[in-house]
Structure 1
Amino acid sequence: MNRNAELVRSSYVAIAPRLDKIIARFYAVLFTTAPSVRSMFPINMQSQRGRLARVLNHVVGALDRPEDLAPFLAQLGRDHRKFAVADEHYPVFGHALLTALASEAGELWTEEVANAWAQTYQFMAETMAAAARAETTPANWVGEIIEHRRLDRDVAAVWVRTEPPLPYRPGQYISVETAQRPRVWRYYTPTTAPRPDGIIELLVKAVGYGGVSRAIVSSARPGDTWRLGPALGRLPDQISPDRGLMLIGGGTGVAPIQAILHGMETAGPAPRNVIVYYGARRWESLHALDNLRSMSYRNRWLDVVPVVEEPPPATGPEVGRLIDVIIRHRTWADRDVLVSGSPAMLRATVGALLTEGLPLERIHYDPFVDD
């Protein structure tokens, strides 16, 4: 790791306990010095603040891995086109960020640390802006809901058609803005590989109250129009059908797993062997199980293990916590492992697998997911 990266990381670790204050200060400075950018952001900034925190955590953690950092920043730059972010905005954002960091760092903010952060931000801004300028696809797509099906109180399946079709790779996620929650973007992963008719199928779970997901589940209707951002995420680059795979999906986190399997089934070549562990609290919450089982019946390389925490009315699934069942089975030998679910599920599952001795380089997940 070079000297600048060391200084950025060590200073960030020292001020990380005050990250909430830093982010609040960042937006205060930003909106004071450039009030015109306020319209780019939602009225309620809670989710936006959390997203910025995850970006900072990921960037600082990847400073010694340029092969991961540069593609992440490039996709971030392409995604920010949907907010109408232009080259002239980056110096404004940088001034606000460095001011916020300095205000909380105190005596730690030496000239050397300040220069290291300034150079790091310059690299971030240049990478993002260059990727945005080079992109030729639309900044966003307009999609129309053609079907909305309530699966239970808190989960709905939604089919959206975009024109032209929104390109993505199986396992990538897309951002959605609805008319009910303007300027609030939420990430969802299509459950299938891209279709020629431009229809995207999403599995949406309502989380909390007043958010985008709750509005989609409760009040979205056919005919509604959305804005959708470009595809993001590098899960497709982290897996190979040449190796055995263990795919772990919790709740609606099974969506990228469905898409990856669908892509393998339709595009080929057939993978060596794949086992899917699909978990939920209750049997009736395994909404994707019929689809997964149908794929397993058609493909000898695929095996599906449903897991529920509460005893079901019929025999069949494993009972217990998803990670406990996986550890009991210990089927990860000679397999790469992909984990998909909520941030809490990711932390618990990845941590348990590492404790069991599975090397980190064989565990794959997308670190940038919404709470």
Structure 2
Amino acid sequence: MESTAVSHIRTTFKALAAADDGGIGVTRSFYSILFAKYPGMREIFPAVMEMQADRLLDAIAYIVENLDDMDKVQSFLVQLGRDHRRYGITEDHFIAVGGTLIATLERFAGTELWTEEVDLAWREAIALIAAVMLGEINASDAPGVWTGTVVEHKQVLQDVAIVRLQLDQPMSYGAGQYVGVSVPSRPRMWRYLSPAIPANDAGQIEFHIRRVAGGWVSPAMVRGVTPGERWNLSAPLGSLGVDRTTGRDQLMIASGTGIAPLRAQIMEMAMRGNNPRVHLFVGGTYPCDLYDLETLWQLARTNPWLTVIPVSEETVNPWWHTDPAPVTPPGMSERLTGKLGEVVAEFGAWEDRDIQIVGSPSTVQTIKYRLQAKGTPMDNVRHDPLF
């Protein structure tokens, strides 16, 4: 897009966000207009719309922020289009959404701000978004939704469960990617989860799920699941994975259930004969939060290129956790105490490593800050989008 059009879009978006509680009112108004004019589209969306409105606003903000880097925008839109296969989206849906978004923006901007040039700039941007997303939706014969049966549900902590499913047909995903998951008790409400094992021809898949306080979906996944349930999964997304073209060794940093996509990568690497060195830091608040440590130690004992360093902020478990802590096997790193980012940074800048960080948005940002302060090149650091 031309710089003038980009400037018009950014100025409009900034003004609307500043005048309307960060833009939340715009997105909520957008959905009200959309459902009133196209009532058939309501069934695509979840019953509770607060999270959906936030996601729309975050997506628009990301696109607006990066309009002068079209490679970055296109990559994001390709992922977004792939994710929207699960809804059965067609060109008619894009026409309805695009027209409604223009009408909503114009209503909130007013005649003084919404000039002909601004209108043309937004229409160009929306046409670009629709073209890339629709192209990705139509580019693949892969299913929009996979279905699977829960075969095991294991409660490993009060707020963490491991769930294993048998898919009706295998899903091809890269170790490190994530998928949207919907459970029968929360129809049309999706939670993104990373498989904890590599893809396989048998259609087996495993998720590590933490209950999010105030969440709509995760409590049902952690506490309300029984074997035999039927789950829906969307197309795999994300770009995490071991980049072998760089020739660099790996630093992997996981907080809590963020271990899942990194463990899947390590398991996949264990099937190969030649691998770079991997230092894996896995952290939690309490020692018990390192629930998958024994599995990681087993991987390290049989793969000399892997070093696992456990980290916890507290030295002892909370009173309500009565299971004994795992005994550190000979040759394995003892658990360190401290905040994960600070501990990793104490080892140095890791400037010769490719670095992956997985955890909550706040945790990822904190670890990045600690590494940057130590002198770590941020070009070497990767993580999934933080919204």
Aligned to 1:275: 279
Indicate whether 1:146 and 2:184 are aligned: no
Structure label with greater radius of gyration: 2
User: How far off is 1:362 after superposition?
Assistant: 1.2
Aligned to 2:357: 339
User: How far off is 1:37 after superposition?
Assistant: 0.4
The partner residue of 1:321 within 335, 339, 354 is 339
Distance 2:188 2:53 in 1: 14
Aligned to 1:362: 380
User: Does the CA-based 8 Å contact 2:348-2:374 persist in structure 1?
Assistant: no
Indicate whether 1:232 and 2:225 are aligned: no
User: How far off is 1:240 after superposition?
Assistant: 5.1
Distance 1:119 1:15 in 2: 19
User: Does the CA-based 8 Å contact 2:349-2:375 persist in structure 1?
Assistant: no
User: Does the CA-based 8 Å contact 1:238-1:364 persist in structure 2?
Assistant: no
Distance 2:364 2:262 in 1: 14
The partner residue of 2:315 within 311, 315, 328 is 311
User: How far off is 1:364 after superposition?
Assistant: 0.5
Aligned to 1:350: 368
Indicate whether 1:189 and 2:194 are aligned: yes
Matches within 5 A, 1:8-47: 8-17=9-18, 18-47=22-51
Matches within 5 A, 1:128-143: 128-143=133-148
User: How far off is 1:26 after superposition?
Assistant: 1.4
Distance 2:299 2:246 in 1: 16
Which shifted more, 57-66 or 275-284?
A: 57-66
Indicate whether 1:208 and 2:213 are aligned: yes
Corresponding letter in the other structure for 2:74: A
Corresponding letter in the other structure for 1:299: N
Which shifted more, 307-316 or 22-31?
A: 307-316
Matches within 5 A, 1:71-110: 71-106=75-110, 107-110=112-115
User: How far off is 1:160 after superposition?
Assistant: 0.8
User: Does the CA-based 8 Å contact 2:285-2:314 persist in structure 1?
Assistant: yes
The partner residue of 1:122 within 113, 123, 127 is 127
Which shifted more, 154-163 or 48-57?
A: 48-57
User: Does the CA-based 8 Å contact 2:6-2:121 persist in structure 1?
Assistant: yes
User: Does the CA-based 8 Å contact 2:164-2:207 persist in structure 1?
Assistant: yes
Q: Aligned-residue CA RMSD in angstroms?
A: 2.0
User: How far off is 1:2 after superposition?
Assistant: 3.1
Aligned to 1:177: 182
User: Does the CA-based 8 Å contact 1:244-1:336 persist in structure 2?
Assistant: yes
The partner residue of 1:246 within 235, 247, 251 is 251
Which shifted more, 150-159 or 10-19?
A: 10-19
Distance 1:354 1:97 in 2: 39
Distance 2:303 2:356 in 1: 19
Indicate whether 1:63 and 2:64 are aligned: no
User: Does the CA-based 8 Å contact 1:239-1:336 persist in structure 2?
Assistant: no
Gaps of 5+ in 1: none
Aligned to 1:52: 56
User: Which SS does the other structure have where 1:159 is aligned?
Assistant: strand
Indicate whether 1:330 and 2:348 are aligned: yes
Q: TM-score, with normalisation over the residues of structure 1? A: 0.93
User: Does the CA-based 8 Å contact 1:171-1:235 persist in structure 2?
Assistant: yes
Which runs of at least 4 in structure 1 moved beyond 6 Å after TM superposition? none
Distance 1:97 1:53 in 2: 12
**Residues 270, 86 of structure 1: alpha-carbon distance in 2 compared, 3 angstrom cutoff:** same
Which shifted more, 10-19 or 131-140?
A: 10-19
Deviations 1:102-136, CA, capped at 9 Å, x for gaps: 33334333222221111011001011111111210
User: How far off is 1:72 after superposition?
Assistant: 2.2
Q: TM-score, with normalisation over the residues of structure 2? A: 0.89
Distance 1:285 1:252 in 2: 9
Deviations 1:291-312, CA, capped at 9 Å, x for gaps: 2222111222211111101113
Deviations 1:333-354, CA, capped at 9 Å, x for gaps: 2112111111111222223333
Corresponding letter in the other structure for 1:8: I
Distance 2:374 2:113 in 1: 38
Indicate whether 1:2 and 2:20 are aligned: no
**Residues 350, 140 of structure 1: alpha-carbon distance in 2 compared, 3 angstrom cutoff:** same
Corresponding letter in the other structure for 1:58: Y
Which shifted more, 306-315 or 152-161?
A: 306-315
User: How far off is 1:46 after superposition?
Assistant: 1.8
User: Does the CA-based 8 Å contact 1:241-1:269 persist in structure 2?
Assistant: no
User: Which SS does the other structure have where 1:100 is aligned?
Assistant: helix
Distance 2:343 2:385 in 1: 23
Which shifted more, 204-213 or 278-287?
A: 204-213
User: Which SS does the other structure have where 1:88 is aligned?
Assistant: helix
User: Which SS does the other structure have where 1:246 is aligned?
Assistant: strand
User: Which SS does the other structure have where 1:126 is aligned?
Assistant: helix
Distance 1:117 1:268 in 2: 51
